[in-house]
A and B are shown apart, each in its own frame.
Chain A
Amino acid sequence: MFHSEPHSVRTHDLLEIDANQLIDARASAPQWVEECLRRSPFVVVRRGRVTDQEIPVGVRGEGRNQRWATFCQQKFVRSILAPPQLLRRTVPMSRANVIPAFRALNVLKDRWTDLDLPWGPGGSVGFELATGTLVSNEQSDLDIVIYADTRMTVDEAKSLCARTMELSAVADIRVETLVCGFSLQEFACTSSPRILLRYAEGLRLGDDPWGGWVNMMETAS
């Protein structure tokens, strides 16, 4: 029997999907979800366990509180866009003129030229660069994802953080290791011996973002 390899997706990736198939498979979806997906057939990969069949995803609506969490079958996926691919897209001048988060992204590209880890925009800025749908506004934060498969030092994190000062928008930076995600700012600046680590299985406080999932009993929902 024909067997295809599952797509390799990570949290924050944007998936272009077959909207009709996803809508048909999810009869319980609110009306706005259907309208959004028909206009712009993209979903964002949520943190969670990806199986051969299904990917945890979120649908982004136009309103701030319009988010809908669901699962998307692997076979509905048409293409995958990761934040580092979006970094190579040019910010339209018309958007940079009115949206501080886009200006902040352009400045950060210049300030982080020496960063040799893959990184790129997530959140509303990433979604807009991927889809062309105007979801960012004047209040939007600049969400950034950095992929650190190997250990980053606190000094490296501090140096990156220092260069996010006085941007035109607040930069909210998530570092993704092979096992979990965490806040760059928290890792760089905390007085706490343990920081908040986000695993596919749940949240926990820990001191080693590059270590494995140790104790499932400490999971918080």
Chain B
Amino acid sequence: MEQIELTYPAKRKIPKRAHVGVVGSGDMEVLLEPAEGAVAHVFIRTSVDGFGASWKAVLDRFFAKYDGAARIQINDAGGTPGIAQLRLEQAVEVSEQ
């Protein structure tokens, strides 16, 4: 079990919270909530240790496009970077709908 925290700049408030995904094996859930200020905080709790650089690469790529002030909690049960990318996309879709 490993906990990773990342912070990114944000430019706008987001409309509402979103909860997507499941914590079953090989999958992950993402909780995205509106936050105060011009910053986004990401908290990752993963069952697989030693992939900090991969997580940072996925989140860097996500925040290259996303500018919402959010608190994002990711609970990972051995998912892949591909799943992380889709779960984040799905959370934004629900949050903005």
What is the interface of chain B, defined by CB distance below 8 A to chain A? 18-22, 24-25, 27, 48, 80-83, 85-87, 89-90, 93-94, 97
For A171, give the chain B residue with the smallest CB separation.
B24
Known: A191-B94, A193-B93, A194-B93. A221 touches B21 (CB 8 A): no
Q: Is the CB of A203 within 8 A of B83?
A: yes
Q: Which residues of B contact A209 (CB under 8 A)?
A: none
Q: Is the CB of B97 within 8 A of A203?
A: no
What is the interface of chain A, defined by CB distance below 8 A to chain B? 65, 123, 141, 143, 170, 172-173, 183, 185-186, 190-196, 202-205, 220-221
Report the number of A-B residue pairs with Cβ-Cβ less than 8 Å.
55
Known: A196-B90, A205-B90. A191 touches B19 (CB 8 A): yes
Please tell me which one of the listed residues A123, A170, A203 contacts residue B86 in the complex, with CB atoms under 8 A apart. Answer: A203
Q: Which residues of B contact A195 (CB under 8 A)?
A: 90
Q: Give min CB distance, B41 to chain A, whole Å.
A: 22
Q: Which residues of A contact B93 (CB under 8 A)?
A: 192-194, 205
Q: A221 vs B79: C-alpha distance in the bound complex, in angstroms?
A: 11
Q: A194 vs B28: C-alpha distance in the bound complex, in angstroms?
A: 15
Known: A190-B20, A192-B93, A193-B97. A220 touches B86 (CB 8 A): yes
Q: List 8 A-B contacts (CB under 8 A).
A: A65-B48, A172-B25, A173-B24, A183-B27, A191-B94, A192-B20, A196-B83, A220-B86
Q: Give min CB distance, A1 to chain B, whole Å.
A: 41
Known: A192-B90, A194-B90, A194-B93. A185 touches B85 (CB 8 A): no
Q: Which residues of A contact B83 (CB under 8 A)?
A: 196, 203, 220
